[in-house]
Amino acid sequence: MSAAGLASPPPRLSGRLRGLVLIVLVEAALVVCWSAGFIGVRFASDHAPIFLILLWRSLVSGLVLLPFALAMGPRLRIVDVAFQMLLGALAMAGYLSGFALAIGMGVPTGLTALITDMLPLAVALLSWPILGQALTGRQWIGSFIGLAGVFIASGWSLKVADVPLWAYGLPVLGTLSLALATLLQKRSAVNAMPVYQSLCIQCLSASAIFAGLAWHEGGVLPVMEARFAGGILWLVFVATFGAWSLYYLALRKSSPARVTAVLYLSPPVTMIWAWLMFGEPLSWAMAAGLLVSLAGIVIVARARMPVHAA
């Protein structure tokens, strides 16, 4: 056998390796962009009310994508549009409201990221009634280990943050809303719709919800300041186009349990980012909580979902 033959990997193995590398790269970019969303909201919240920020983030994102959604891709059917509007209400309006309000009320940015990244546990709770899939014992153990890490980290925060106790429940509600949208999207035939079309519909439908909330909060007109505009652009192009596109792309290439488990990696990035930009304190308790949560990630990500007959 020639040296060239020895050096060439089997085609099937090479294809699997490329697929694995692609998934890892997508997941790494997802972690960075997902963390950017928390930082963007934290930055913009110093210059405008929360729902005004979410309104203009969603509206600008949807309007930028609208020409592409109308001119490219398959023809939009009413049933598909209606389903994406439901996902927009859950994954956009519900999830974003939960963590943004928590940050606006003073819950530390990194801790908010950690709480919202309890998605594997939320997916575990909702997988059976929605997908008919019961998680393995290993996945349950990993999810609860991740949850234990959240309690370790948040115990320190409760002592140093002057925040109402119920505010810590806001990101939990947002997480359950996103988990529900994730599982509904996974079981639906709408997966064939291009990401830019689904994201456009979801952003515009969420902006309608945020418009009503922003009006009640004080108004819908944008704040005419460079920092507000910069924060919105950051949230549009990095935290929306980047994070949500990568999220749905990863969801189509992998399982909900793995994708949501990977998002546990965003809290360390968010905490360090918030410390550098806003001087938010770090602690050994938060570091210990992160390590415990990361251990839960490994368990959940390496476990396989059992196969059930349809």
What tens digit of pLDDT does each residue of 24-62 get?
888 888 888 988 888 888 888 888 899 999 999 999 999
pLDDT at 305 over 60: no
In the predicted model, what is the mean pLDDT of residues 227-242? Answer: 90
Lowest mean pLDDT among 3-7, 100-104, 145-149: 3-7
Indicate the average pLDDT of the chain. Answer: 80
Residue 8: per-residue pLDDT:
53
Report which of residues 9 and 228 the model is more confident about: 228
pLDDT at 64 over 90: yes
Most confident region among 7-21, 79-93, 260-274 by mean pLDDT? 79-93
Lowest mean pLDDT among 9-18, 85-94, 116-125, 148-157: 9-18
- Closest by Cα among 80, 56, 26 to 203: 56
Residue 202: per-residue pLDDT:
92
pLDDT at 201 over 90: yes
Residue 205: per-residue pLDDT:
95
Q: Tell me the whole-structure pTM to 2 decimals.
A: 0.76
In the predicted model, what is the mean pLDDT of residues 266-285? Answer: 81
Q: From CA 286, how far away is CA 27, in angstroms rounded?
A: 23
DSSP tag of 34 = H
Q: How many residues are recorded in the chain?
A: 310
> Which residues are CB-neighbours of 137 under 8 A, at least 6 positions away?
none
pLDDT at 188 over 90: no
- For the chain, give the percent of residues with pLDDT over 90: 19
Question: Could you tell me if 113 and 267 are in contact, meaning their C-beta atoms sit under 8 angstroms apart?
Answer: yes
Residue 157: per-residue pLDDT:
57
pLDDT at 93 over 60: yes
pLDDT at 306 over 50: no
Residue 208 pLDDT grade (very low, low, confident, very high; cuts 50, 70, 90): very high
106 burial via Cβ count (<10 Å: 0-12, 13-18, 19+): exposed
pLDDT at 73 over 50: yes
Per-residue burial over 143-163, b if 16 or more Cβ lie within 10 Å, else e, is bebbbebbebbbebbeeebeb
CA 189 from chain centre, in angstroms, equals 21
